[in-house]
Amino acid sequence: MNFFQLIDQLAEVDPDVLDRFDSRRAVFNSLGTLARRSALAATPLFMGALFQKAYAGTASVSTDVLNYALTLELLEADFYRQFIASTLIPGGAPAAAIAKIKQHEDAHVTLLTSTIRTLGVTPVAGTSTTGVRFKALPAGATYANYLAVAQVLEDTGVRAYKGRAAELIGAPNDLLTIALQIHSVEARHAAQIRTMRGQLPWINNNDDLKTDPAYLNGVRNATGTSLTLGGATFAIPAYDATKPSPLESNVLQGATAAAAAVNTATALGTPYTADDAAAAFDEYLQAAEVVDASRAGGLLA
């Protein structure tokens, strides 16, 4: 494989290709020794990663990811609106916590909406009666029922952001940073809700909701699709069966081209159990799974 010849050929159809790579010299100088540069440049893995970095984060992909995130945030914001309106939340610390989470979700909606508009694309929208909104819980729902749904929503949100963050690598306007700022707060929400329910703050195999579809994996929407919600349309990638989303009980970590997989359940040894090992890592979900009717897609009004 002749890397420079490939770049020259690509430049014929994309005159800006060298700018995408900064420069051919900069690319290779970052790789270390001459032998390492030659070896890496000859591998399809390196070439694929290099071009992915150069061409990732186009406006269409970025706004699809952001509208996907905004859909989840609108769903959560409306859920907490309904939760507060139910008047089921005890006063004091519980009411203060749910009110604060609702404020966070509203702020996330505002930021994502503004960012998408800045990029020249229509953001999804929702109110209490139109667009993206939460499907009301059945009559007779209790405070405990609302908290259980909140746990599923927050845990799903954390896995959803993690599943698409890589698509924002190289995107303009620090979009990856924006997504990660929201992602970490969603994780804090999940821990707070779990604590309010008497659960451990991290996902573990002793959870009372561990069999909910949100914590599982599986082939969903294998061909990919476009969703039209709240006045906007955005793409959802097809489920990639070659990279199945891990179960939350997964104990095998680090299986990439750059690192050998480690069975953390056995590598940690006593006194760690398989449950301990699984709880030390938070797994991702592919977008096609998140929007499936058995997951967040089934919670849309």
| pLDDT tens digit at each of 301 positions of the chain | 454 555 455 444 444 444 544 444 444 454 455 554 454 444 444 444 444 444 444 567 899 999 999 999 999 999 999 999 999 999 999 999 999 999 999 999 999 999 999 999 999 999 999 999 999 999 999 999 999 999 999 999 999 999 999 999 888 888 999 999 999 999 999 999 999 999 999 988 888 998 898 888 888 888 889 999 999 999 999 999 888 888 888 888 876 655 678 888 888 888 989 889 889 988 999 999 999 998 999 999 9
> pLDDT tens-digit profile of 202-243?
988 888 998 898 888 888 888 889 999 999 999 999 999 888
d(CA 146, CA 82): 9
> pLDDT tens-digit profile of 2-36?
545 554 554 444 444 445 444 444 444 544 555 54
How many helices and strands in the chain, by DSSP H and E?
A: 12, 4
Angle at 266 between CA 260 and CA 271, to 5 degrees: 140
CB 175 within 8 A of CB 122: no
Q: What sign for the dihedral angle of Cα 150, 298, 181, 205?
A: positive
d(CA 249, CA 251): 6
Angle at 254 between CA 249 and CA 259, to 5 degrees: 165
Where along the chain do its domains lie? 3-55, 59-219+285-299, 249-282
CA nearest to 130, candidates 67, 87, 74? 74
Residue with tokens 């939340």: 89
State in words which class domain 59-219+285-299 has. mainly alpha
One-letter amino acid at 75 equals L
CB 127 within 8 A of CB 234: no
The H or E element spanning position 236 is: strand 232-236
pLDDT at 48: 45
One-letter amino acid at 184 equals S
| pTM to 2 decimal places | 0.79
Cis upstream peptide for 271 (omega within 30°): yes
Read off the tokens for 35.
């032998």
